[in-house]
Chains A and B, each alone.
Chain A
Amino acid sequence: MNSLPWTKNVIRARGLSKRYREGATELRALSNVDLDILAGQLTLLMGPSGSGKTTLLSILGCILRSTEGRLELLGEEITSLPEKELPRLRREAIGFVFQSFNLFPTLTATENIALALDVRGVRGRMAGHRAEELLLEVGLQDRKDAFPADLSGGQKQRVAIARALAGDPPILLADEPTAALDSTSGRTVIELLQRLAHHHGRAVVMVTHDPRVLPFGDRILHLEDGQLVGEETAQPAPAIAQGIPPAMVNTGLSQKFPAEF
């Protein structure tokens, strides 16, 4: 997947729907969502609880399959791919960051990252070296031998981000990564995610309830009752200036939300 040509439009979804059945009742978690996720942007997914944010994130992350619709990842149509192909896609194209970090408590920071490399077949010294590089990238090189229990919330999340970067994925999906953090840690994390989008050309999609992160988003998608009901675009954003489709609306978000976290 990484060998594919770098594309601006890394995720393309058309008519995505997700229905669940609970007894005789059918629940519609997602309804006819059209979406393009662009490289180099930090895209925020917002909406009230139960609006379908996490369902959408799970589908984009190839963890969940949509009931209807079409989804392309880096130009590859994945809706029709067999189930057994999805883990490969997740390994090669996607990094996940979770609200509760999901670090392995029995492994050190370096080992947590090395494990993500191990899943991808990178082992031994090469894995250790790469893990230390990633810790340096998130500013935690001095905590490499610390276990998660000895790290602060912000540090844990940065280790989790370093782990998500282990496969050098073009797409990062984050589920409320600042929700469990204080404002200082939250700011460090959101700045890191923004940097990964703007400076490294990654597509970062972040589900959030946290209004403090809004100024950092290049684009905000609003979900309600499983439907995409609004979209706002910040101005200027580096990637947007590099040729984002004109359909996007500039709502001047940078003026609507506080500049300080």
Chain B
Amino acid sequence: MALLARRNLFHDRVRFAVTLTGIVFALVLITIQFGLFLGFTTTTSNNIDHSHADLWIVFHGVGYFDTARMFSERKFYEVLSTPGVQQAEKYIQNFAYWKKPDGGVENVQVIGFHPGSGLGEPWNLVQGDVLDVKREDGVIIDDLYKRKLGVQQIGDRVEIGDHRARVVGFTHGIRSFTTSPFVYTSFKNSLNYTRPASREDQLAYILIKVAPGFTPAEVQKNLHARLTDVDIYTAEEFSRRTRFYWMFTTGAGLAVLTAALMGLVVGVAVVAQTIYAATMDHIREYGTLKAMGASNRYLYGVLIEQAVWSAVLGYAFAMILAHFIVQGSEKGGALILLPLSMKIGMLFLAIFMCIIAALVSINKVTRLDPAMVFKG
């Protein structure tokens, strides 16, 4: 069975190449779409996921990271006196204009944090020191956006919201899901750059580290008892809400998933067509096998083995290609993730796709009349 399956599959090399091309195309398309989806979801919540905070306090009704609404600093002091709170830090996120040295303007997302606190700081710092943002005009940006923001090195001067700023460090790989790059600076500097409308309400978030012996849920409950007009989320909850908002409320994720689904449909169609064509080319052989007494199960075995061979080989080529695309994407604005779990999942998806594609041929062979072998 195995030998016949392999020989019939590999015999016509041109057709097999077409089959493989179809599978590879479909799998690469699906892999990249899923990788983009995964990259997008990770990107939307990366500031929360790397914040090292256990709890996030936001203005009531703010459901996700990128829409900050300011609230009073008084709440910060209430938080500090709440049982179970080991550390609380002010945090701000707001949009501002970035005037490039050559005069061009870009929109950026300014992140204000307390340098040295360990909460809400930028990560993957490849140049400079995070404490340098304590300087009156110090900012850190990601090196992916050097060209977009018109800077090249530490020391380059720009303007943010009509205030001077100087690049003091670079991170690597912190992408923004919106088109506005993140600019990290001290909380104090960020107030200059973002200019909150009210002098009273100058906080967007409070990041909390829970004291040893307390669970985030317990502290969350304590905070709820003291604070009004705010929502208190665990970091995981806030991250999930942010990802869900961007992926499903905006339709961005749906578009990516739809493209992945289209890849699956195209893949099934291409593989089904090629396996069916191969089956029809060998239909007399299947008739002969039936006349010889081969059971339908035996014939299915031949077809499914062909499908599995096609899937495994197509998968191997697809993963090599996807690997290069993912590598290429690391220098671009869109993050494509290809974790091991997804690679394994893609193998099963490839096999599933090819077996589904083989069903058309299985149906044909099941209905095949072995008496056809007597027709010259």
Contacts and interface: CB of A to CB of B under 8 A. Distances in A.
B305 to A, nearest CB: 13
B293 A119 contact: yes
Nearest to B7: A106
Contact of A87 (B288, B295, B376): B295
Contacts of B291: 61, 63, 90, 96
B292 interface: yes
A167 B291 CA distance: 13
Interface size classification for chain A: 20 to 34
Given A119-B298, A175-B374, A111 B3 contact: yes
Contact of B4 (A87, A90, A102, A106): A106
A118 B373 CA distance: 20
B344 to A, nearest CB: 31
B293 A106 contact: no
A64 interface: yes
A39 B376 CA distance: 28
Contacts of A119: 289, 292-294, 298
B330 interface: no
Nearest to B285: A104
B368 to A, nearest CB: 11
Interface residues of B, number: 23
Contacts of B371: 58, 63-64
Interface string A100-125: 10101111000100111011100000
A87 B294 contact: yes
B284 interface: yes
Interface string B276-294: 0000000011011111111
Contacts of B21: none
A115 B3 contact: yes
B3 A107 contact: yes
B18 interface: no
Given A58-B371, A98-B374, A107 B289 contact: no
A87 B293 contact: yes
B292 A116 contact: yes
A212 B170 CA distance: 93
A88 B374 CA distance: 20
Interface in B254-301: 284-285, 287-295, 298
Interface in A77-107: 87-92, 94, 96, 98-100, 102, 104-107
A74 interface: no
Interface of A: 54, 57-58, 61, 63-64, 87-92, 94, 96, 98-100, 102, 104-107, 111, 114-116, 118-120, 163, 167, 175
Given A57-B374, A175-B374, 17 more contacts: A54-B374, A63-B291, A63-B371, A63-B373, A87-B293, A87-B294, A87-B295, A88-B293, A90-B291, A92-B293, A98-B288, A98-B373, A102-B284, A102-B287, A106-B11, A107-B4, A111-B3
Top-5 shortest CB links A-B: A91-B293, A90-B293, A106-B7, A102-B288, A106-B11
